[in-house]
Structure 1
Amino acid sequence: MNRTVHPIEQESYRILRSRLDTSGFAPLHRAVLERVVHASADLAYATDLVAYEGDLRTAHEALHTGAPIVADVEMVAAGITRRRAVCRLAEATAVPGLTRSAHAVRLAYEEVGPGAVWVIGCAPTALEELIALDAAPALVIGLPVGFVGAAESKAHLRASGLPAVSNVSEKGGSAVAAAAVNALLYTAHPLPHPEEDNR
């Protein structure tokens, strides 16, 4: 299904590309980076975002063959425009040693099982719980925001060896997390890139 791009979005991308040269990035990394920058108006993501083209290609294939998407909060789920995302936060409760967000991750995993694309844009505790589970994700988009635990949880994600998109700093949030998965959903099958890197 072709997507109609609004003129405002077209102009936003024109301005973005006039200020930031993304031509050296591999195709899916470029698509994710540009959509995150478009969603945030923050050019610093060019050096803050961490992603590997091989991981993105695997996730792209999974998404385009029906892999479920899980969001940590409804704001992330609402921002994913092409597919319905599973979000179990409304049914989760705080239990001893577990936040509601972490409990929601457990509930979602019981529903979707392995092979899902997980999109964490709010709660570092949700990301930490997902890392602790043996969830075998197709991809973890780990972009929680905040001064408490956000940067640390993203560092743990990168150290875990899971296929991931993350960023180094404390910034992030629902809009950029949703933007990252939308980039993969909107992108047709990309051509190979000569300098494709996959760790």
Structure 2
Amino acid sequence: MEKSNYIILNPQGIETESMQIISRELMHLSLPEDLAPIIKRVIHTTADFEYGQLFEAHPDALANAQKAIKVGCNIYTDTSMIIAGLSKPSLAKYACDAKCFVHDEGVKTEAKAKGITRSIVGIDKASSDKSFKIFVIGNAPTALVRLCELYKEGVVKPDLVIGVPVGFVGAAESKDMLRDSGMPYMLVRGRKGGSTVGVAILNAILYGLGK
């Protein structure tokens, strides 16, 4: 296939040009230098420049995440989609493993018996395993609320919580709860977010370690 005069066909060339466009269009914002690659990766994924103003991070979040990854932590996600999107070479490089429990039969059974979401039970199960140091919540506000409760109870102490559940019911409120919890966090304010945003944030952190 010949190169089009209007469309770049090389994958690396597409990403390079995209990042250059994003950088130009974000020049009016004073992004923190250490967080700029993460914010740009989110915008690259969503084509939504509002994330440049909605993204927020705890002062210790990035450094904590980097340390946890370097020692090979486990990562818990609330959707299988997040696991599918994470960079497998980067995870393997640091001996990190990402897991999601919402489809486990035991989790399904317990959630049905208690009349609660599988996301809540999945968080309970992950929190009982101290090897999980990073939590990525892209879909379920109930998972994020439960994680905040468990932290307050002293059950879990994450090095990073990526809190980006999307939606109209509880999404914004759960992020406010995360901000006030005391846990190191990265979040996007309001209703926006989703699994793809969670993937973009964690992949950006992983890619940054390789530079």
Q: Do both share a fold (TM > 0.5)?
A: yes
Amino acid aligned to 1:61: K
- Where structure 1 has 5 or more consecutive residues not aligned to the other structure, the ranges are 191-199
CA distance in 2, matches of 1:42, 1:65: 33
State the match for 1:87 in structure 2. 100
Flag the structure with larger Rg.
Answer: 2
Q: Superposed, which structure 2 residues align to 1:29-108 within 5 Å?
A: 29-81=35-87, 82-83=90-91, 84-91=97-104, 92-93=107-108, 94=111, 95-96=113-114, 98-108=116-126
State the Cα distance separating 1:184 from its structure 2 match: 0.8
Q: 1:62 to 1:27 in 2, by over 3 A?
A: farther
8 Å CA contact 1:28, 1:53 repeated in 2: no
Count of residues in Structure 1 that have an aligned counterpart in Structure 2? 185
State the match for 1:153 in structure 2. 174
8 Å CA contact 2:126, 2:132 repeated in 1: no
Q: 1:20 to 1:119 in 2, by over 3 A?
A: same
CA distance in 2, matches of 1:122, 1:22: 31
The alignment status of 1:8 with 2:1, answered yes or no, reads no
State the Cα distance separating 1:162 from its structure 2 match: 0.7
8 Å CA contact 1:115, 1:138 repeated in 2: no
8 Å CA contact 1:69, 1:116 repeated in 2: yes
Once structures 1 and 2 are overlaid, which stretch shifts more, 22-31 or 98-107?
A: 22-31
State the secondary structure of the residue aligned to 1:66: coil
Amino acid aligned to 2:146: E
Cα deviation code 1:97-141 (max 9, x no counterpart): 53111111112223x316611000000011111111131001000
CA distance in 2, matches of 1:157, 1:107: 19
State the match for 1:116 in structure 2. 133
Amino acid aligned to 2:136: V
Amino acid aligned to 1:142: G
**Identical pairs, percent:** 38
The alignment status of 1:185 with 2:206, answered yes or no, reads yes
Q: 1:21 to 1:53 in 2, by over 3 A?
A: farther
Q: 1:131 to 1:123 in 2, by over 3 A?
A: same
Amino acid aligned to 1:89: V
What's the Cα RMSD here? 2.0
- Where structure 2 has 5 or more consecutive residues not aligned to the other structure, the ranges are 1-10, 92-96
CA distance in 1, matches of 2:132, 2:158: 5
Once structures 1 and 2 are overlaid, which stretch shifts more, 115-124 or 23-32?
A: 23-32
Cα deviation code 1:7-50 (max 9, x no counterpart): 22112111111211288433331121111111111111111111
The alignment status of 1:127 with 2:144, answered yes or no, reads yes
